[in-house]
């Protein structure tokens, strides 16, 4: 049977790791360019045109991957803290949202803790980059990232010298000509934008659920109290299953 002092001994380390990961993830989410990529391929106009190499910018982070790290570390922190709080708990209350029991009966100390954690996570959710609404995005099942569809075609020009006649030739003077620089189409770029950001409606659903969950936790706090250290409820799993459900 797990002793309360054992839970207290590991709680500090779990809390420190969770704080470090949340801080790092939040900094990453502040840089939406890290979640975007691009692929550009060049097609020359004709055989006389020059070949240009493709251009590619790799996606460095995926929203779902960084949220997965948050989910894992926060779940551990939620559960260790709940296990400690349950050791001295007796009076408990469940968290209910829209008539659905989201969390089992928990003591007031855990509910206070969860209220603060979920409140802090609101800033993280608000920072999630979303897909550019001006583009038409399609999810690529193979890579798991979104791509713009259709590709955007643009042309590349190059300058060529072309002679023009300033004065026609006469029986006394030869024709006078001059070289001018003219822009002609040399080839075409086909551009596809890439993004591992989140669709805006999905982000809004998570934010709405988070607000409802906070209300449920506050209501349950009025009834909650003590419990036992041998219990370790899977509240982290329940919270993230609710927040990130499709």
Give the least confident one: 22-26, 60-64, 165-169, 173-177. Answer: 165-169
Segment 163-183 shows an average pLDDT of 79
pLDDT for position 49: 85
Tell me the sheet residues that pair with 56: 39
pLDDT for position 217: 93
Q: Write out the two tokens for 21.
A: 């990961």
pLDDT for position 226: 38
pLDDT for position 225: 45
| Pairwise CA distance, residues 189 & 167, whole Å | 40
Q: Is 144 left (phi over 0), alpha (psi -120 to 50) or beta?
A: left
Tell me the sheet residues that pair with 86: none
What pLDDT band is residue 231 in, cutting at 50, 70 and 90?
A: low
Query: pLDDT digit string (tens) for 100-155?
Result: 999 998 887 888 899 999 999 999 999 999 999 999 999 999 999 999 998 999 99
**Cis peptide bond N-terminal to 109, omega within 30:** no
Q: Is the pLDDT of residue 223 over 70?
A: no
pLDDT for position 230: 60
Q: Write out the two tokens for 155.
A: 């042309």
Number of domains into which the chain is organized:
1
Q: Inter-axis angle of helices 235-243 and 108-126, to 10 degrees?
A: 40
Determine how β-strand 137-139 pairs with β-strand 152-167: unpaired
Nearest partner of 186 among 162, 156, 159, 161, judged by Cα: 156
Query: pLDDT digit string (tens) for 20-76?
Result: 999 999 999 999 999 999 999 999 888 888 888 999 999 999 999 999 999 999 999
| Pairwise CA distance, residues 238 & 246, whole Å | 14
Question: Which domain covers residue 145, as residue numbers?
Answer: 4-243
pLDDT for position 233: 74
3-class state of residue 158 by DSSP: strand
pLDDT for position 81: 87
Segment 71-92 shows an average pLDDT of 81
What pLDDT band is residue 224 in, cutting at 50, 70 and 90?
A: low
Segment 190-205 shows an average pLDDT of 95
Q: Please say whether the beta carbons of 157 and 183 come within 8 A.
A: yes
């Amino acid at each position: 049977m797990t002793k309360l002092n054992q839970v207290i001994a590991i709680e500090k380390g779990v809390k420190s790791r969770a704080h470090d990961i949340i801080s790092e993830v939040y900094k990453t989410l502040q840089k939406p360019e890290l979640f975007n990529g691009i692929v550009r391929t060049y097609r020359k106009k004709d055989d006389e045109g020059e070949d240009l190499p493709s251009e590619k910018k790799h996606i460095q982070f995926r929203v779902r991957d960084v949220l997965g790290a948050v989910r894992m570390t926060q779940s551990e922190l939620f559960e260790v803290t709940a296990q400690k709080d349950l050791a001295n708990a007796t009076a408990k209350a469940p968290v209910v949202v829209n008539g659905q029991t989201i969390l089992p009966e928990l003591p007031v100390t855990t509910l206070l803790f969860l209220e603060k954690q979920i409140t802090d996570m609101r800033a993280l959710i608000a920072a999630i980059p979303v897909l550019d609404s001006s583009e038409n995005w399609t999810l690529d099942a193979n890579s798991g990232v979104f791509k713009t569809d259709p590709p955007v075609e643009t042309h590349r020009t190059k300058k060529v010298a072309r002679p023009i006649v300033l004065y026609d030739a006469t029986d006394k003077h030869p024709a006078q000509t001059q070289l001018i620089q003219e822009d002609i189409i040399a080839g075409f770029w086909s551009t596809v934008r890439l993004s591992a950001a989140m669709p805006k409606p999905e982000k809004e659903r998570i934010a709405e659920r988070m607000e409802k969950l906070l209300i449920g936790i506050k209501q349950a706090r009025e009834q909650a109290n003590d419990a036992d250290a041998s219990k370790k409820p899977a509240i982290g799993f329940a919270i993230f299953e609710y927040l990130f459900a499709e």
